[in-house]
Structure 1
Amino acid sequence: MNPARKLSAFILLAAGLLGWQGASAQAYPAKPIQWISPWTAGGGNDILSRALAEQLASRLGQPVVVENRPGATGTIGTSQVARAAPDGYTLTLASAATHATAPAIYSKLTYDPVKDFTPITLVATVANVLVIHPSVPAHNLKELIAYAKANPNKLNFSSVGAGSIQHLSGVMFNQLAGVQTAHVPYKGTAPAVVDLLAGRVQMAFESLPTMLPHIRSGALRAIGVTTPKRSAVLPELPTLAEAGLPGFDASLWYAVMGPAGIPQPVVKVLHDTVVASLQSPEVMRRLSEQGAELATSSPQELAEFVRKDTEKWSGFIKRAGVTLD
């Protein structure tokens, strides 16, 4: 084939591919979308997944069916998404637990948090708050650290289980503050809060909405939020970073993702539709109930965000020797 014919063939092929991609985007979605929530029904991930799925179904004109596939700190359902066809018909609400901390906790994780997923958009960040029982003789972070240093392992902190963001927040606190506090895992938030209120454990890194009534009643003392920015729910409360632990960032976040390789035209449809859905009163109400603050992004920004958060947690977790294998 002479050069002119080669060039013509290349142009025709490129035009055909572009035409296919355009037709693909225009036809999408042509069937129901499967949305996998890798956590149990009724939790924060499930609640936000269903609120978003309802909005997407209305805007895209196809059912968006939420399926709960919990287990192994969210990694079972997430691995199923990684193995799905990259056609835009399988989505998930990824989180810090499934994409930032799991790679360091599980040595045999079956997916790569960056390479095996197509990022769509960040959805929200959630602030946890460090609270202490009033029996602890500290009223701020400086006093708490001083007390912990003078009394190694006398302070216990609760969590909903090993490897949870609450547990790893305590790991980060110990390392940055240079203290020794002991982790006490529970099977769920309710029993952990009961023992915290009774003083059987003295500290916790729990969700701000859950702790807010106890903070306002004086049953627990708030020390600071775990996010880089103050929370709009309790704006007078400092972040732990500004209160004396520079670099403390134990944010819980949510983001929409699919398997790696989703065509860019479909990614754009999903990105624009999810961002629009996040502005709906119902989704905004659900975010507020979970203590979550809206935080959207481009797919490229989300990919970089996940990469940096994964690297950050890997250092803390490996130094602490936390594993769940």
Structure 2
Amino acid sequence: MHRRRFLLATPALALAGPAAAVIADGRPIKLVVAYAPGGGTDLMARAVAQHLGAALGQNVVVDNKAGGNGTVGSLSVAQARPDGTTLLFATGSELSLKPLLEAGLPYDPARDFVPVALLGITPVAIAVNPEVPARNVAELIALARTKPGGIDVANSGRGGIMHLTAAYLALKAGVEFGHVSYRGAAPAVADAVAGTVDAVVSGLPPLLAQAKEGRLRILAVSIPQRSGALPEVPTLAEEGFPGFDMSNTVGLVARRGCPPEIVAALNAAANQAIEKPDLRRIFLANGAEPVGSTAERYATFIQAERDRFREVVQATRITME
């Protein structure tokens, strides 16, 4: 079954009773965000905290622990008590990609975390400066063939999902891009708008306003189905790269050893939360397609994502150095 259809087919889950009673002592739940306040991940986490708390009948507070590109916050949850009172608002980078690229990572997602619920899938898109003579991916690839290494493609950080997406596309197309890594999406997009680089691979939020104003042209998204935020933009699969599937995700994980009944209560509350219209609006505004899942399906999804990223890392030979 298609991975997003598999998740979207998850039946609505009902809380069997006051879920808060399952969480030890009714203490507040801490939702750790491994990035600074104010970004898209943080905004989505705060919306989740509000509705998760309402479903559980207890307080859920966001705790921003930035540092190490997600490592500091992830490690704090890996070292927390396994009682369900400390959760990580995890992205695919922390769970699936960093272990493949960073030697000596102080946590092991498979060993240290138990999946609770997948909440959103974030498409990656490729966009070009309007002066670049490419109105679709085929034309961009054709242009790259005439200028090996001469088409500069910006990304938000070496070894990140955006970098891997651009490198994997070049590999599949049999061309060579010039990869330019920045510290974050904002400067990468800004240089694409300025024409300092030809193209940029990014999540949707930094691209949408620029594309609306005609300062960037979005060519394709890298998920199997078109994005609800950009229904007119084709997928890379439609553009001649069948099976191309690179995206980021957000979801909830707890410290491994968390009792199954607590995981089940948290999962049910998370699935209730993700159906709330205002939460879904916040997710969509920040480039994430809202989904729900059982804990078991999320675990299967994470393993498939790790396998996919491993294939891409091995094929592209990308390292953090």
Q: Shared fold by TM > 0.5?
A: yes
Shift of 1:154: 0.4
SS in 2 for 1:78: helix
1:310 aligns with 2:278: no
SS in 2 for 1:242: coil
1:112 aligns with 2:117: no
CA distance in 2, matches of 1:123, 1:26: 24
Answer with 1 or 2: which has the greater Rg: 1
Find 1:160's aligned residue among 132, 156, 161: 156
User: 2:281 is aligned with what amino acid?
Assistant: R
Question: Who is 2:320 aligned against?
Answer: 324
Q: Deviations for 1:162-209, whole angstroms, at most 9, x for unmatched residues? A: 222222211221222221111212233332222111211011112223
Question: Who is 1:250 aligned against?
Answer: 246
Question: Who is 1:202 aligned against?
Answer: 198
Find 1:82's aligned residue among 78, 84, 96: 78
Shift of 1:254: 0.6
Question: Who is 1:28 aligned against?
Answer: 23
Runs of 4+ that moved beyond 4 A? 22-25
SS in 1 for 2:103: coil
Shift of 1:139: 1.6
Question: Who is 1:102 aligned against?
Answer: 98
Shift of 1:323: 2.7
Find 1:299's aligned residue among 274, 295, 298: 295
CA distance in 1, matches of 2:85, 2:47: 18
CA distance in 2, matches of 1:44, 1:114: 26
CA distance in 1, matches of 2:285, 2:18: 40
1:225 aligns with 2:251: no
User: 2:213 is aligned with what amino acid?
Assistant: S
Shift of 1:24: 9.9
CA distance in 1, matches of 2:216, 2:30: 41
1:129 aligns with 2:144: no
CA distance in 1, matches of 2:59, 2:196: 47
Alignment map for 1:55-66 (pairs within 5 Å): 55-66=51-62
Between 301-310 and 214-223, the greater mean CA deviation after superposition:
214-223
SS in 1 for 2:231: coil
Alignment map for 1:230-309 (pairs within 5 Å): 230-309=226-305
Q: Deviations for 1:203-238, whole angstroms, at most 9, x for unmatched residues? A: 111222322233233322221011111011121211
SS in 2 for 1:288: helix
CA distance in 1, matches of 2:204, 2:237: 17
What TM-score does the superposition give when structure 1 sets the normalisation length?
0.88
SS in 1 for 2:108: coil
The number of aligned residues is: 304
Task: Verify the 8 A CA contact 1:79 1:110 in the aligned structure 2.
Answer: yes
CA distance in 2, matches of 1:117, 1:164: 21
Task: Verify the 8 A CA contact 1:171 1:317 in the aligned structure 2.
Answer: no
SS in 1 for 2:196: coil
Task: Verify the 8 A CA contact 1:145 1:177 in the aligned structure 2.
Answer: yes
CA distance in 2, matches of 1:311, 1:132: 30
Task: Verify the 8 A CA contact 2:19 2:57 in the aligned structure 1.
Answer: no
Question: Who is 1:44 aligned against?
Answer: 40
Shift of 1:246: 1.8
Shift of 1:282: 2.7
1:216 aligns with 2:184: no
Shift of 1:312: 1.0
Question: Who is 2:64 aligned against?
Answer: 68
SS in 1 for 2:73: helix
SS in 2 for 1:244: coil
User: 1:158 is aligned with what amino acid?
Assistant: A
CA distance in 1, matches of 2:168, 2:228: 23
Shift of 1:314: 1.3
* Alpha-carbon spacing, 1:210–1:25, altered in 2? closer, same or farther (3 Å): closer
Question: Structure 1: where are the runs of 5+ without partners?
Answer: 1-21
Q: Please report the RMSD computed on the Cα atoms of aligned residues, expressed in angstroms.
A: 2.0
